[in-house]
Structure 1
Amino acid sequence: MDPIKRRLLILTVLCAAVMELIDISIVNVALSHMSGNLGATIEDTSWVITSYAIANVIIIPITSFLTANLGRRNYYIGSIVLFTFCSFMCGNADNIWVLVFFRFLQGIGGGALLSVSQAVMFEVFPKEKQGIASAIFGIGVFIGPTIGPTLGGYITENYSWPWIFYINIPLGIATAISCYFLLTEPPVKPKASAVDWTGIALLAIGVGTLQTVLERGETEDWFATGYIVVFTIIAIISLTAFIFWELRVPNPVVNLRVLKSKSLSVAAVLTFVTGIGMFTSIFLVPVIAQRLLGFTPTESGLLLLPGAILALFALMTAGKLLQAGISPILIVAAGFGMFMLFSWNMSQINTEVSAGAISVNLIFRAIGMACLTVPLTSLAVSSLDPKDIPQGAALNNMMRQLGGSFGISIVNTYSARRFALHRTDLITNITAADPATASRLNGYTNYFQSKGISLIDAKHKAMGLIDLSVVKQSTLLSYLDAFLLIGLLFALALPLLLFVIKRSPVKRPAVIVSDH
């Protein structure tokens, strides 16, 4: 390929990957605005994140099937077009569930942009320069999550939340046109095989219904609601059937047989937990910052920026340590330790916490995630045969997305339960006999009376302010409990490394697309 065309193609696929990764994190700081604008609860609005993750979970394992059967060029360009069209439709949504629907389809389109972009990058570089390709792609994909929250905050505050989707349109059109003229089929075209539609259907139904149960169970009083019971049964049957089917079919959409590898099995569980921490933390922090601490969307986005920048250097350092022969187990243990420290620190904050303190905590989170990204995939594929490495890496990536989508649902449910408990505890201490309560109530009442409001109305307004304070404090405490829960999950998962600690250091380097 002509050197100029080669550079343009590299830039094109890199832009497509960055665009997809920006959309993973750009919506987080806009959730409160979406919730208010569309008249939805924050729990319903969180589906904007989880629907995208579920779509990725479904599409990532079947990318190789679609590439082989549709042709890489057609599939890649078609995915860009779908992603761009759905970005436009997301921006035009006037209902939360319309937004969630097109956000899901956007995730279907975005699923191809990472894996195919990475494959193209490795293809255009000669074998002796594969390390350069890895470095360029690794740095490039880290730019998206780095600038996503900050960019989303700036756009939301200075324009409106639909523009976080509209900015994809010119980029999507440009990359689609560029790929039309520059992208070709791979030198060795993958052999088309029968698509495991049964496996795809079982996976989609199982994950979709289980996600709905986790997301809506608390609101609908769990099994007191008919459709929650039905969806639970469907989820159990579908996922059980999926496992049996995938172990028997010749060309499974997800090759579960590779889980015979102890290192892959352990890595998959740790990656699932990592996904929970990665997605839930970046969901909780902007919600706390905007709803409880009074930060603007831009300020909320900037909280994440210092950690994301430092994580870029941590990512490169982790890669160099692996190349130097350091066991991925040690790096993973360090990453888990950093994230547990972050979770503990966040569980101790109060409404007076400063932006600087939160940013410092987020640095621990970001470096911890950087220490887990490459080493976990290296651990996952370390004992696999070369022919099984792509399937092992895809399964590992799927577990991260699955952890993220389930994690947000679990955190929402747990926070709702803890909110009710904390509210009850706080209310029992607010009595007329309590001097602090009486003093505050009199102070509020006197303030409203000074504004010309009658005594009865002033007392009602004073009680309303106290109730608002109770709600705010209960909400904060419930979110702090969620951080403790996440940290506990990391602590419980960490001993799994003992099952693979006797393994020799990774035999072959692996590159993973970051989802931070």
Structure 2
Amino acid sequence: MNAKAESPTPLTGVRLLLAGAVLALTNFMVVLDTTIANVSVPHISGSLAISGSQGTWIITSYAVAEAVCVPLTGWLSGRFGAVRVFTVGMIGFGIFSVLCGLSTSLSMLIACRIGQGLCGGPLMPLSQTLLMRIFRPDQRAQAMGAWSMTTVVAPILGPILGGTISDSWSWHWIFFINIPVAALCAFGAMRLLRHAETPTQPLRVDKIGLMLMLLWIGALQIMLDLGREHDWFADPMIVGLAVIAGVGFLVFLAWEATEDQPIVDLRVFRHRGYTVAVTSLFFAFGTFFASAVIIPQWLQTSLGYTATYAGYATAFNGVAAVVMSPIVAKLSTKVDPRGLVCFGIVWLGMTTLLRTQWNSGADFWTLAFPQLLQGFGMPFFFVPLMTLALGSVDPKETAAAAGLMSFLRTMAGAIGTSVVTTMWDDSSRVARSEVAGRLNEGHTIDALSAQGMPLDQVRAIVAQLVDKEAMALATTHIFLLSALAFFGAAMIIWLAPRPRRAADTSAAH
């Protein structure tokens, strides 16, 4: 099929509404899948007979695959056309969702989640690109506002849907529910968006850059996921992975800095404002995402919460975010974005400090209230940071800068999850030793034995109590470190100059 005109005739009427709904629903589904599995990890771990830390690979594998594919979106759409790539990506996402639901082993599930991430990575930026092509210029701001709401609402509904489905049916259905949505969106794209196809040309892909990126990211993620089980650098395999990741990263940087058409345009880092903004984003988002992973696991494995109620408790952070997002968007044009970002990240740190007061006897609202407060500060962090970063680069670099920003944000979430879950497990072991050393075991055993319990049951109860308290101490320790990370990320932002111009954030994803 020949390439269409650069600026297609915008759609109108019902056809426009249906096409916009298809694009918004696609974005909703892809973002939903980043959080829907968070509360289902204990269910999946139990079903596949794996540990909780291994269960987090289901989250990180999707995130890493999505991050790797995002920088390829521009090349794919330029080579094959945005609508074709969008449609094929949607079909692939649906197929891998089926395979995820049918998985019977951890290796199969991780492989299929990687497939999901590779197919889903281009869908979010392409949904924005196509949205801008089907709406008139005077309608685009309103359309992007509606599209942005799906990005905010999906992470809220993800834990609730994941928990409810896992408890009511089985974890397999958190993937199966994607099938009708993927089929509907793929059909809608073929019927409604055909005229919005982008021009194509035989573009050259930076194959060496792509292979280097896959090499160092893959080695790094495997090292982070397997390190704890292999005693980290006491194992030659982990040392080898670390060397591959480090050397691969340095070679990748050198290659991309000198390549004419790089897979990742590193030249945008010459802008101090952009570099500072994405550095702050990396640390703050990695910390935020990691806490979103460990909280539901702790609630289910230690406090006896069902996946449904763990989803309710963690979803509160999105309620205030929905309300504050449009307010912060207006403030971003009137107030120094550095101040807004600093306030937002400090707010995240303060609400994280509230979690250091949690204990094994905390009730539902004690756990949910910091989540609700946290949502108030999230838009102050995300919205102005995007304005600051993209306002620091040249207009022609906006798309490349936005793609790299999305890549780093997703990688931060995956790396942060791997690091924090390892620290959490190690901290719980240390805490267990300390609790066991201070426990008046003899008095406790005598008191329980006096109630007629056999010795084996008494010992099991004591061990369960020690484990529960140790996990609570480890969790609060992680939150203390997380708060310090947030405060550090907030201070970094002041190294950036005030943006020179208003940013076109439509390229961000």
Q: Shorter chain as normaliser: what TM range? A: over 0.9
Q: Is the 8 A contact 1:72 1:185 kept in 2?
A: no
| Contact 1:379–1:506 (CA under 8 A) maintained in structure 2 | no
Contact kept in structure 2, 1:411 and 1:482, CA below 8 Å: yes
Match of 1:250 among 254, 260, 272: 260
Distance 1:222 1:306, change over 3 A: closer
Aligned to 2:307: 297
What residue is the counterpart of 1:493 in the other structure? 489
* CA distance, structure 2, for counterparts of residue 402 and residue 368 of structure 1: 22
- Mapping for residues 149-188 of structure 1, pairs under 5 Å: 149-184=159-194, 186=196
TM-score by length of 2: 0.94
2:479 equivalent in structure 1: 483
Query: Match of 2:392?
Result: 383
- The 5 Å alignment of 1:100-499 reads 100-184=110-194, 186=196, 189=199, 192-323=202-333, 325-430=334-439, 434=440, 437-449=441-453, 458-499=454-495
What is the letter of the counterpart of residue 475 of structure 1?
Answer: M
The root-mean-square deviation of aligned C-alpha atoms, in Å, is 1.7
Q: CA deviation at 1:186?
A: 4.3
Counterpart code for 2:476: L
- Tell me how far 1:383 sits from its aligned partner: 2.1
- How many pairs were matched up? 499
1:24 aligned onto 2:28: no
Q: Which secondary structure state, in structure 2, belongs to the residue aligned with residue 447 of structure 1?
A: coil
Cα distance change, pair 25–31 in 1 and its aligned pair in 2 (3 A)? same
- Tell whether the 8 Å contact from 1:328 to 1:506 is kept in structure 2 after alignment: no
Contact 2:424 2:475 in 1 (8 A): yes
Q: Give, in angstroms, the shift of residue 59 of structure 1.
A: 0.5
| Cα contact 2:320–2:373 (8 A) shared by 1 | no
Matching residue of 1:508:
503
Cα distance per residue 1:122-177 (max 9 Å; x no partner): 22221122221221111122221121111111111111110000000011111111
Give the share of equivalent positions with the same residue, in percent: 26
> Residue 7 of structure 2 corresponds to which residue in structure 1?
none
Distance 1:219 1:213 in 2: 10
Bigger shift: residues 122-131 or 353-362: 122-131
Question: C-alpha offsets along residues 434-468 of structure 1, whole Å, 9 cap, x if unaligned?
Answer: 4xx3332112223344xxxxxxxx22321222112
Aligned partners of 1:423 and 1:471 also within 8 Å: yes
Do residues 91 (structure 1) and 115 (structure 2) align? no
Q: CA deviation at 1:205?
A: 1.3
Distance apart, 1:264 and its partner CA: 0.5
Q: List gaps (5 residues or longer) in structure 2.
A: 1-10
Report the Cα offset of residue 366 of structure 1: 2.2
Superposed CA offset, 1:297-344 (max 9, x none): 111111133331221111111111113x21211111111111101211
Deviation at residue 358 of structure 1 after TM alignment: 1.6
SS state at 2:230 partner:
coil
- Unmatched 5+ residue regions in structure 1? 450-457
Structure 2 CA distance, aligned partners of 1:418 and 1:511? 42
Query: Is the CA contact 1:146–1:308 (under 8 Å) kept in the aligned structure 2?
Result: yes
Residue in structure 1 matched with residue 4 of structure 2 by the alignment = none
Displacement of 1:189 in angstroms is 2.2
* One-letter amino acid of the structure 2 residue matched with residue 11 of structure 1: A
Contact 2:36/2:158 (8 A) holds in 1: yes
Deviations 1:48-77 (A, max 9, x none): 100011011100111001111122122111
Structure 1 residues 151 and 508: CA distance shift in structure 2, 3 A: same
